[in-house]
Amino acid sequence: MIYLLVIPVDLYINTSSRLYYIKQGELFKAKAEWHDDEIVKMRFRILFIPFNVYPLDHWKRSKKRKESHIKKVRSYKYKSEKFKKAWLVLRTFRIKQFAVDLDTGDCIQNAKLYPVFAFLDYRYGGFKINFLGRNSLLLHISNSPIRILKSFI
């Protein structure tokens, strides 16, 4: 059980190679793949047992709910506490890789963004703007469940 708390959970998004997955060590992996017929295929592997799910296969429109006219009163203190907890949880995530390659399609807008991206690339790295029509994002985030639990305590 402690093993599950210590092993990090990795989220990997690479739009240029169309690779999207979330995994926790060798115990769990969920991978999104583009499929010709069903558009998206989710490939899961839990404890070395693989299986596929087509999430858009059973998709149905949700029924409209009746709207209640009673307004709920929430306190400002409650919202600020939720924001603080969310901020503490967000700070537990570690960014392992990050790269943005952007083209807005408008050369004037690209020229305006070029100094901003040059500064961000100098300061943090991974920011590029191009005039070639390429858009890509590479994001690799890691977090372990024990760090999330520590942020709540």
pLDDT for 106-124, tens place per residue?
999 999 999 999 999 999 9
C-alpha count within 13 angstroms, C-beta hemisphere, residue 125? 5
Q: Is 80 helix (H, G, I), strand (E, B) or coil?
A: helix
> Does residue 90 contact residue 84 with C-beta atoms inside 8 Å?
no
Question: What 8-state DSSP symbol labels residue 144?
Answer: -
Residue 39 maps to a domain: yes
pLDDT at 61: 44
Q: Is 87 helix (H, G, I), strand (E, B) or coil?
A: helix
Residue 116 maps to a domain: no
Residue 85 maps to a domain: no
Q: What global pTM score does this model have?
A: 0.76
Residue 26 maps to a domain: yes
Reported as a pLDDT band with limits 50, 70 and 90, residue 101 is very high
Residue 77 maps to a domain: no
Residue 136 maps to a domain: no
Residue 34 maps to a domain: yes
**Alpha-carbon gap, residue 49 to 27, rounded angstroms:** 10
> Does residue 144 contact residue 5 with C-beta atoms inside 8 Å?
yes
Q: Which of 29-38, 75-84, 95-104 has the highest mean pLDDT?
A: 95-104
- Residue 62 backbone phi and psi in degrees, to 5: -80, 145
pLDDT at 57: 67
Residue 114 maps to a domain: no
Q: Range of 46's domain? A: 7-56
Say how many domains are in the chain.
Answer: 1
